[in-house]
């Protein structure tokens, strides 16, 4: 067992401190720690090796996986209880602590969700082989038809293809976009197709021209990565939603395809699951779910992340 002084020396490194705080909460594999910390395998393994040599953590093999956790002595030693209190004090001064906690929740949810692995295998397969009558368009029409009559805000709607699909079933759809030509085009299209319950409004998704507490469902469909301050847009969605209303985000998972900025006017190169989860939490949403729902097989292999929460 490492002496208290040596233990404190270990804590002098912020990464080792973050590792200890995570392992105090749950046994984790190196791969899971990579997801949480956003660091490379070799760096994490190096720090774990130091903690293991000091007798602070131990590992356990389960099938093909190796899990790390605090040693039993660490959890029971009264002196360690005092040091543990110190680590929590230090943690409050680290800006990464809250992010790590959110990332840990997501990792544990993935571990527990056995169906996720199955759906990950299915992701991207729909439509790869021909089947008469089966298409994403048909599926979208089917799903939307099952929705109850809601008041919906399509935020960052563009020309409003999704808005028009929603208008077939919704009580009312308000499509918001900051491009005058998009709004003009969408409004003409809605009039042409006879959608009296579909209204286009010119405005910014960070401050949409919609009354507070008036919307049942707020949707950002591939819109947030165009916003300079997406967290403000999510907060604005919370303001316009009724109590019990839901926000839905469909966007790109973080990627490194820099050309997207030029080709598609993307301000952000996607978002991480943790980032979206935190923004939803800060905005005041509960019942938050964030998951990757689609993976493209063609380069640059964009992935779509789905996030939702309830006001």
**pLDDT digits over 220-257, tens only?**
999 999 999 999 999 999 999 999 999 999 999 999 99
Q: 139 and 74, same structural domain?
A: no
- Name the β-bridge partners of 221: 250
Q: Any idea what DSSP says for residue 302?
A: -
**Residue-number span of the structural domain to which 156 is assigned:** 119-124+134-310
Q: 234 and 303, same structural domain?
A: yes
- Supply the pLDDT for residue 243: 97
**Could you tell me how many residues make up the chain?**
311
Q: 32 and 169, same structural domain?
A: no
Taking the C-alpha atoms of residue 64 and residue 119, their distance in angstroms, rounded to an integer, is 22
- Supply the pLDDT for residue 1: 42
Q: 273 and 167, same structural domain?
A: yes
Tell me the pLDDT tens digit for each residue of 196-213: 999 999 999 999 999 999
- Counting residues of the chain whose pLDDT is more than 90, the rounded percentage is 55
Tell me the pLDDT tens digit for each residue of 145-155: 778 899 999 99
Taking the C-alpha atoms of residue 16 and residue 5, their distance in angstroms, rounded to an integer, is 15
Band of residue 9 on the pLDDT scale cut at 50, 70, 90 = confident
Distances (CA, A) of 157 to 160, 163, 306: 5, 7, 17
Band of residue 135 on the pLDDT scale cut at 50, 70, 90 = low
Over range 13-38, report the average pLDDT. Answer: 91
CATH code: domain of residue 105: 1.10.10.10
- Supply the pLDDT for residue 194: 92
Tally Cβ neighbours within 10 Å of residue 28: 23
- Mean pLDDT is lowest, of 60-74, 88-102, 255-269, for 60-74
- Counting residues of the chain whose pLDDT is more than 70, the rounded percentage is 86
Does residue 129 lie in a domain region?
Answer: no
Cβ proximity of 254 and 226 under 8 Å: no
CATH code: domain of residue 272: 3.40.50.150
Q: 91 and 154, same structural domain?
A: no
Nearest Cα to Cα of residue 200 among 248, 159, 144: 159
Taking the C-alpha atoms of residue 123 and residue 115, their distance in angstroms, rounded to an integer, is 12
- Mean pLDDT is lowest, of 14-18, 107-111, 206-210, 291-295, for 107-111
Tell me the pLDDT tens digit for each residue of 153-203: 999 998 888 999 899 899 999 999 999 999 999 999 899 989 999 999 999
Final residue belonging to a domain, choices 77, 112, 147: 112
């Amino acid at each position: 067992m490492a002496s208290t002084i040596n233990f404190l020396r270990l804590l002098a490194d912020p990464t080792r401190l973050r590792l200890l705080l995570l392992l105090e909460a749950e046994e984790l594999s190196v791969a899971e720690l990579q997801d949480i910390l956003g660091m490379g395998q070799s760096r994490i393994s190096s720090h774990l090796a130091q903690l293991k040599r000091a007798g602070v953590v131990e590992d356990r093999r389960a099938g093909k996986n190796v899990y790390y956790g605090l040693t039993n002595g660490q959890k029971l030693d009264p002196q360690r209880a005092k040091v543990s209190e110190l680590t929590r004090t230090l943690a409050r001064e680290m800006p990464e602590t809250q992010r790590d906690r959110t990332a840990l929740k997501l990792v544990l949810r993935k571990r527990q969700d056995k169906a996720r692995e199955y759906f990950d295998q299915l992701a991207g397969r729909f439509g790869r082989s021909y089947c008469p009558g089966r298409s994403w368009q048909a599926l979208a029409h089917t799903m939307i038809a099952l929705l109850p009559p809601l008041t919906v805000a399509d935020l960052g709607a563009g020309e409003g293809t999704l808005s028009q699909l929603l208008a077939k079933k919704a009580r009312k759809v308000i499509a918001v976009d900051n491009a005058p030509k998009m709004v003009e085009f969408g409004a003409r299209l809605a009039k042409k197709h006879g959608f009296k319950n579909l209204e286009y409004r010119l405005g910014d998704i960070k401050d949409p021209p919609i009354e507070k507490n008036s919307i049942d469902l707020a949707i950002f469909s591939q819109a947030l990565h165009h916003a300079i301050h997406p967290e403000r847009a999510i907060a604005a969605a919370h303001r316009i939603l009724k109590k019990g209303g839901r926000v839905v985000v469909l966007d790109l998972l973080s990627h490194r395809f820099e050309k997207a900025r030029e080709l598609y006017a993307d301000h952000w190169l996607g978002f991480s699951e943790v980032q979206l989860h935190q923004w939803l939490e800060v905005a005041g949403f509960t019942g938050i779910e964030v998951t990757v729902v689609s993976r493209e097989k063609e380069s640059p292999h964009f992935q779509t992340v789905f996030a939702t929460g309830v006001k």
